[in-house]
Amino acid sequence: MKALIMFVRLVGLTAIILGVLLWNSGEESYLALHIGVGFLLVTLLMVLAVFAVIRKSVVPGIVAILLALLLPAIGFMQLPLSARAMRPMQLAHFVIALAAVGLAERLYAAIRSAD
């Protein structure tokens, strides 16, 4: 389980760095990699959520599943927007990504305490 949370941290940091590069440079060459890493983060969050629900941490697990569904939805909503209209959506996506990594940490703590 320790390896899983370490991988979540690495993937989350990578997704955030790629997102910031996209945000600041406007260079779309990072987009496919950012989306792929983001989906990996969402998948890992879902795995942690399932473990948490199995270990009786139902509420954080359900919140994590909802957040894991919201994160890519907000991300894909940015694609057809103009640069000016995108800023609030980008900020929301960034905040949700940070919350996802933080919630993964919370799930890991809940899973460990259930052991």
* Residue 54 one-letter amino acid: I
- Taking the model in full, what pTM does it have? 0.89
CA–centroid distance for 95 within its chain = 10
* Cβ atoms of 61 and 69 closer than 8 Å: no
Longest CA–CA separation in the chain, Å: 49
Query: In the prediction, which pLDDT does 84 show?
Result: 65
Domain ranges of the chain: 2-114
pLDDT at 89: 86
Report pLDDT for 37: 97
pLDDT value, residue 74: 93
Q: Are 37 and 104 in contact (CB under 8 A)?
A: no
> CB-based contacts of 108: which residues, under 8 Å, 6+ apart?
1, 4, 5, 8, 48
Pick out the chain residues at pLDDT < 70: 81-84
Q: What is the pLDDT of residue 69?
A: 96
